[in-house]
């Protein structure tokens, strides 16, 4: 029995991100208090919560865009606060981030948007960077002729895919997605959900996904973390989370939309889990 326990501990996927005792305050307003969370290698973790629970604030804290008021964030086994500026920059380059509204440079076409980080951070020539940019656009399902288009010329779904291509530009190990299907029609959202799972499986990504979309949670996520009461109230499989005795969770998962998403998922059962 002891040997089996040791073996199980050794084969458990490693946590690529560990958040411990995180506090985030803005003046007298406390967003997070003593928040703990782990992101396990190879999983898609969905992060949900009511308005004002700090889902995007948590994401920005982890990727280094916001310094927490207190607490510790370990990434790839290293404490972010203990890294030098150069080490921190190298670590953060292992992240890819898709922001809520895409955050593409409106004055640059898609080819320029995606090749820019490759030129700045990887010291690639423009022709080499643009060749890789074409590959990233193709990887996200965008047609070849979209490369020379500007963000204003794209549909909402194409903007999301272009922003995803830029997030993948430097071959990240961890992908952060902030409301990736917000504003998309149901068909476009479903296609984007499928794309995320396909890319996770094909590229071995670990995904931190902030969303309010119940269909996305059911079809893509291996675990769901619920932010409530300034902390992570529960982080578990969606089935266990949906059964948690909490008023907000019950309203969210057991309301009409939650029941519809659960029924559709059970009917199709198309989710693919990492090996």
Domain boundaries, the chain: 2-94+172-234
pLDDT for res 258: 63
pLDDT for res 36: 96
DSSP class per residue in the chain? -HHHHHHHHHHSPPEEEEEEEEEEEETTEEEEEEEEEEEETT-EEEEEE-TTS-HHHHHHHHTTSS--SEEEEEETTEEGGGS-HHHHHHHHTTEEEE-TT----TTS-HHHHHHHHHHHHH---HHHHHHHHHHHHHHTT--GGGGG--GGGS-HHHHHHHHHHHHTTT--SEEEEESTTTT--HHHHHHHHHHHHHHHHHHT-EEEEE---HHHHHHH-SEEEEEETTEEEEEE-HHHHHTS--HHHHHHHHSHHHHHHHHHHHHH-------
Q: Is residue 270 over pLDDT 60?
A: no
pLDDT for res 155: 87
Q: Which residue, chain included where needed, has tokens 């020379």?
A: 148
Instruction: Tell me how far apart the alpha carbons of residues 150 and 130 are, in angstroms, rounded to a whole number.
Output: 15
220 or 88, which is more confident: 220
H or E element that contains 193 = helix 186-203
Q: Is residue 9 over pLDDT 60?
A: no
Instruction: Tell me how far apart the alpha carbons of residues 120 and 73 are, in angstroms, rounded to a whole number.
Output: 27
**Domain 2-94+172-234, CATH:** 3.40.50.300
Q: Is residue 143 over pLDDT 70?
A: yes
Residue pair 88/167 in contact by the 8 Å Cβ criterion: no
pLDDT for res 7: 45
What the block records as the tokens of 82 is 């203990």
Instruction: Tell me how far apart the alpha carbons of residues 16 and 204 are, in angstroms, rounded to a whole number.
Output: 13
Q: Which residue, chain included where needed, has tokens 């921190």?
A: 88
183 or 226, which is more confident: 226
Average pLDDT over residues 56-85: 90
Counting other chains too, the contacts that 87-90 makes at CB distance below 8 Å and 24 or more residues apart are 88/64
pLDDT for res 273: 42
pLDDT for res 183: 83
Cα 106–chain centre separation: 23
Instruction: Tell me how far apart the alpha carbons of residues 224 and 258 are, in angstroms, rounded to a whole number.
Output: 14
Cα 101–chain centre separation: 14
pLDDT band at 256 (very low <50, low <70, confident <90, very high): low
pLDDT for res 272: 45
H or E element that contains 209 = strand 206-210
The per-residue pLDDT of the chain, averaged, comes to 86
Beta bridge partners of 234: 226
Strand arrangement, sheet containing 78-79: 29-40, 15-26, 70-75, 78-79
What the block records as the tokens of 192 is 């984007």
Q: Is residue 1 over pLDDT 60?
A: no
Determine what percent of the chain is predicted with pLDDT higher than 90: 58
Q: Is residue 48 over pLDDT 70?
A: yes
pLDDT band at 182 (very low <50, low <70, confident <90, very high): confident
Give 173: exposed, middle or buried? Use CB within 10 Å, 0-12, 13-18, 19+: middle
Average pLDDT over residues 9-35: 87
pLDDT for res 26: 93
Q: Is residue 6 over pLDDT 50?
A: no
Residues 186-216 have pLDDT tens digits of 888 999 999 999 999 999 999 999 998 999 9
């Amino acid at each position: 029995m002891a040997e089996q326990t040791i073996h199980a501990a050794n084969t458990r996927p490693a946590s690529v991100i560990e958040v411990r005792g995180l506090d985030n305050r803005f003046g007298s307003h406390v967003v997070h208090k003593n928040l703990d969370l782990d992101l396990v290698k190879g999983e898609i973790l969905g992060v949900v919560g009511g308005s004002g629970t700090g889902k995007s604030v948590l994401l920005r804290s982890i990727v280094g865009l916001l310094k927490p008021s207190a607490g510790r964030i370990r990434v790839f086994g290293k404490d972010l606060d203990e890294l030098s500026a150069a080490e921190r920059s190298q670590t953060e380059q292992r992240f890819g981030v898709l922001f809520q509204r895409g955050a593409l440079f409106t004055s640059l076409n898609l080819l320029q948007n995606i090749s820019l980080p490759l030129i700045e951070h990887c010291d690639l020539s423009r022709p080499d960077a643009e060749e890789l940019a074409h590959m990233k656009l193709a990887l996200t399902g965008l047609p070849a002729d979209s490369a020379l288009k500007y963000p204003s010329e794209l549909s909402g779904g194409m903007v999301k895919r272009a922003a995803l291509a830029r997030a993948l530009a430097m071959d990240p190990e961890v992908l952060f997605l902030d409301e990736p299907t917000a504003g998309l029609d149901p068909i476009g959202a479903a296609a984007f959900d499928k794309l995320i799972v396909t890319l996770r499986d094909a590229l071995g990504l670990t995904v931190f996904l902030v969303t309010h979309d119940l269909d996305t949670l059911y079809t893509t996520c291996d675990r769901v973390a619920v932010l409530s009461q300034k902390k992570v109230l529960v982080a578990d499989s969606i089935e266990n989370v949906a059964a948690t005795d909490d008023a907000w969770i019950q309203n969210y998962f057991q309301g009409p939309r939650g029941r519809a998403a659960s029924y559709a998922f059970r009917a199709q059962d198309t989710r693919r889990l990492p090996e």
